[in-house]
Structure 1
């Protein structure tokens, strides 16, 4: 059933038709006759307050609007007209001016009540529509989706349904960088596409932002993926945003009724959980499984433990060398987060850092990393005077206008020059915060802090951004480097990126160097610096100087 049909059902009690109209019309007529009989049998208009007729007049005006109020007022005026006695027992008739004045009042009250009913119902309709119909897309709201899905499940308890959550991954970036108008255009585009793809959906809704929910009848759980493929295929066509063709990269999470629950709220929650996991998958699709709930609970546990890990001194930094490829000279060390839990041992950073970013714990974590790495760098510089440390910063740091002050304070505490610190920023983190981040990054650049774009080529890469963001270094993502020996496409991408970096007088750093052949090919391409397990894994602080001394004694070889 379409959303407009559901709205019509909700309004039916206020907009009678068919049998309901006949019943209400008969009720109005009966009320008029009863009121007239009451006036007559109690002695006439002299003894009974004739305003009892306002009840059927207003009743009719509410359901039948102005025409109903007008006609009922006219009927009431007729019933209490010239043939209704003033005094039945004395056979005294009304004066003409009395019944004409009363009749005019009835007609005026009827038409006025009808007009008031029109206004009232339009307000009620608007409020009801806003509650259950999304004004931007015309689809249902989240509340409407849950209500209608629960109603359907109670009527068709044996039906197999796929509950899909579909989201445009670029929505936040478009809204922040290009404005709400263009984000709304993407949202309407998605709603139109989903309506074309899934016309047989039981119910559809815009949950929030550019996230949508659909309930689709399916034969079994294996039939969900063809629906997902259809949705993805339809989004291959771009949407025009400021004259730029933008491809909506959709992410889909799915839950299945009856296997995953029998209540709409549970099914939608599980589809949303699957969608969150789908964001990190190559195929951008994930079907719900119970283990995902365990992952969520595990993440919440780790976040709670992380807040205590600062006090328990369980956190540390390991440092991965970044070397000059032509000479093997150590140039920079990248500070990498490590956490050794007292019961669980080493916790993989990927297990906790994304959630820390979402909850805001990443800010105190970054502050700790800056202070710890700069204190360590001060100690190392006694033996390696030109060494720099590189620290990754998050989207939340970029959105914090006081972050530049924090960086300067950390440098001042150790008495280190600003160019001893490099801040690594991913394109994906930087673009949504560009308005806030750009003035801050320029301030840090003017002070001498070095800036690097991490994972270059995997986010919103644009030559135009390189002209306005004061970066000194581009770090080529490991996904490009990993395939350069076997895949000509990746090899040419890496070569073009290196050439671009050199032409722009920037420093190129290749990430993820894992063998001698890759190292030599990068040197031949003209790549200036690199890091990876072939050169050295991340090392605890006490091992880095030993690695450096061993490398120096080997004549400058960069290999660990």
Structure 2
């Protein structure tokens, strides 16, 4: 039994409790024994006090009887009447000896001593006799008293001598000595001591049943002043402990002497009968502790045994073993705990099954998820490695699924994914081929012990099966997919790398719209370059490596500079100046274009604020991408920029392309309408190269058309281009829009545009893009061109 175990602590608790109870009982009983013994001693002492009084009374009655016998004897009365001293003294002596009196005295009517048996003692009592005669006269008969004579207590009696009238008094005295003390000791089993004090000095032992030395110890412990009877507790006399009752026995005021009676009872003697009881209590305590230890060990094992079993079961549960049995059948709390534990074990087992299902299985399609597929792929790679075989992975991503989700809703999209999973499982059939859903609209297929030709053949069959429309809720959906193929050991030796290569090939298939693509390292290099470019773009934005350039716009009617277009340039720390066409398409593809647009708007607003402070008022045009238009929060972000730089919305014109609008017309139009309400001019850039209808164009809240430079560059030489430009100008004016031509690179084109009624122009003939901070200087030097007379 380990010291810190629950069993040892239960046993220790039982032992401590029983010891506490037994010891508390033992000391309580011991205290009660002491208290009862002391109370009994005090009661005995009081009884002893009455017993000693009775002894004194018996002596007094014996003396009175003897004195009365003497007083009633005719011969004595005759002798007293005739004053026959010899007869009187003989009668006093004979009667005194007969009853044991130490002194017999005849007192005359004048209260003087007439005759006595002891002249010296009678002389000592001379002062006490008159007082007793007075008391006897008052009582009309005999009286008794105690007094001190020569430091010894005496008991006196006075009896009247009548013939028939009082003719004298008979006084008898007897000492209170060892006999009465011995009688008291024999009668009460108490120690009895008589102590006398003179002039308030120390006590001296007169008579005592104690040994002389012990009597001396008692005398030393008595207080010198005694007014009344009292108890003394815990007197240490010799080797014993006593309780005592102290009584004032006699007093001689004239000699200032006092005699006290001390009744003593040994406390040890009083407690002695209970010692066996205390020993019995100790034995019972020991037996109780022994029994408690045995019972506590048994009870502790009964309690901790099932708990140890539960602990062992818990360890097995922690190790994942849910088959351990719990053999606890009691109906008490332990049994209830065991049953609860069984219920908990079953619940944990069921929940773990569910957790494993959720962790490794897709809840929507009931196919293995990515984690499960990775484990399957690892097992397949290990098997292939041991058998020197190969295995392949097909990764598939659906085409246009996001559009279906946005248009039809996520519930419809979930049903579509379920149908794709059913079709995919049906195509693969029952065999070693393992399909899985990796997430979103991505699926993967494991082909263990397969070849590249078999993987490509399966990919072709899957693509062919997806060509069949899927009908859901009376809706028919056409889907395609891009499939990437990668194999072990040709492309990778680990599951994660193999999946990564299959994913790279899949995205290449989707970009090329080629159905299925097998992984080759060249594809991955392109992906790595793209990732590197994205990291460099983020670093450039963080380190302010972009620069704001502007290209002026001229009003053709007056030749005055009235606007500029904001352009972004990248100053790379290693590659130097990078033009927009080298990074803008990638930024649009990755979504980084939103951050870049935000930067351009911020810088453009800063420059507008500076120009207006210098008196230069120009409208700033900024290009928006498709992703910018799909950002429903763009108007709020732009309004915040204008407010912080204190620029009016009329100072900006936001340019958008036709293709950007047509990617998601509804969301694009919502964004444009909110911007237009703010007061910002909107322009359609590269007009004529997109596929938008004029009806849709009419519904857009735009203010400007910008003719694409492909029609403007050689319009003075190409009659068809000139016709397109003229038609576009007329169309814009008829729709109430401002028309801007870009790509003006010579004076002839600029003059021809002016003749056609075009409103504004920009191009290299006017100015190449320049750093924004150089614009004001350029404007001050700008000289509008002179047109020919024909114009």
- Please confirm whether the aligned pair reaches a TM-score higher than 0.5, indicating the same fold: yes
Q: Distance in 2 between matches of 1:130 and 1:277?
A: 31
Alignment of 1:90-101 (within 5 A): none
Q: Distance in 2 between matches of 1:406 and 1:308?
A: 22
Q: C-alpha displacement at 1:167, in angstroms?
A: 1.2
**Structure 2 vs 1, CA of residues 220 and 373 (structure 1 numbering), >3 Å: closer, same or farther?**
farther
Hey, what does 1:90 align to over in structure 2? none
SS in 2 for 1:207: strand
Q: C-alpha displacement at 1:511, in angstroms?
A: 9.7
Q: Distance in 2 between matches of 1:449 and 1:503?
A: 21
Q: Distance in 2 between matches of 1:227 and 1:510?
A: 53
Alignment of 1:204-243 (within 5 A): 204-216=435-447, 221=452, 227-239=458-470
Q: Does 1:154 align with 2:382?
A: yes
Q: Does 1:194 align with 2:424?
A: yes
Aligned pair count?
433
- 1:201·1:214 contact (CA, 8 Å) conserved in 2? no
Hey, what does 1:31 align to over in structure 2? none
Hey, what does 1:264 align to over in structure 2? 495
Alignment of 1:513-552 (within 5 A): 541=772
**Structure 2 vs 1, CA of residues 549 and 138 (structure 1 numbering), >3 Å: closer, same or farther?**
farther
- 1:369·1:391 contact (CA, 8 Å) conserved in 2? no
Q: Distance in 2 between matches of 1:129 and 1:326?
A: 74
Alignment of 1:284-303 (within 5 A): 286-303=517-534
**Structure 2 vs 1, CA of residues 529 and 185 (structure 1 numbering), >3 Å: closer, same or farther?**
farther
Hey, what does 1:175 align to over in structure 2? 405
Deviates more, 1:409-418 or 1:539-548: 539-548
Question: Which has more strand, going by share of residues?
Answer: 2
Structure 1: runs of 5+ lacking an equivalent: 1-108, 482-493
- 1:332·1:389 contact (CA, 8 Å) conserved in 2? yes
Q: C-alpha displacement at 1:210, in angstroms?
A: 0.6
- 2:676·2:682 contact (CA, 8 Å) conserved in 1? yes
TM-score by length of 1: 0.55
Q: Distance in 1 between matches of 2:602 and 2:588?
A: 19
Q: C-alpha displacement at 1:380, in angstroms?
A: 8.1
Correspondence for 1:251 among 482, 499, 506: 482
Q: Distance in 2 between matches of 1:345 and 1:175?
A: 43
Correspondence for 2:363 among 119, 132, 135: 135
Structure 2: runs of 5+ lacking an equivalent: 1-338, 713-724
SS in 1 for 2:653: strand
Deviates more, 1:377-386 or 1:295-304: 377-386
Correspondence for 2:597 among 366, 377, 381: 366
Q: C-alpha displacement at 1:211, in angstroms?
A: 0.9
**Structure 2 vs 1, CA of residues 260 and 446 (structure 1 numbering), >3 Å: closer, same or farther?**
same
Alignment of 1:90-129 (within 5 A): 126-129=354-357
Q: C-alpha displacement at 1:446, in angstroms?
A: 0.7
SS in 2 for 1:422: strand
**Structure 2 vs 1, CA of residues 125 and 267 (structure 1 numbering), >3 Å: closer, same or farther?**
same
Q: Distance in 1 between matches of 2:467 and 2:760?
A: 37
Q: Report the aligned-residue RMSD.
A: 6.0
SS in 1 for 2:373: helix
Q: Does 1:405 align with 2:633?
A: no
- 1:331·1:388 contact (CA, 8 Å) conserved in 2? no
Q: Distance in 2 between matches of 1:417 and 1:527?
A: 26
Hey, what does 1:184 align to over in structure 2? 414
Hey, what does 2:627 align to over in structure 1? 395
Q: Deviations over 1:128-160 (max 9, x none)?
A: 443333232232211221122222222233444
Q: Distance in 2 between matches of 1:126 and 1:551?
A: 79
Hey, what does 1:99 align to over in structure 2? none
SS in 2 for 1:206: strand
Q: Distance in 1 between matches of 2:707 and 2:481?
A: 26
Deviates more, 1:211-220 or 1:452-461: 452-461
- 2:559·2:785 contact (CA, 8 Å) conserved in 1? no
Hey, what does 2:231 align to over in structure 1? none
Hey, what does 1:97 align to over in structure 2? none
Q: Of the two, which has the highest radius of gyration?
A: 2
- 1:167·1:212 contact (CA, 8 Å) conserved in 2? yes
Hey, what does 2:218 align to over in structure 1? none
Q: Deviations over 1:456-496 (max 9, x none)?
A: 99999899987987455688999999xxxxxxxxxxxx9x9
Q: Does 1:145 align with 2:377?
A: no
Q: Deviations over 1:87-145 (max 9, x none)?
A: xxxxxxxxxxxxxxxxxxxxxx9xxx99x98x988766544443333232232211221
Q: Distance in 2 between matches of 1:237 and 1:325?
A: 57
SS in 2 for 1:259: coil
Q: Distance in 1 between matches of 2:354 and 2:622?
A: 56
- 1:330·1:548 contact (CA, 8 Å) conserved in 2? no
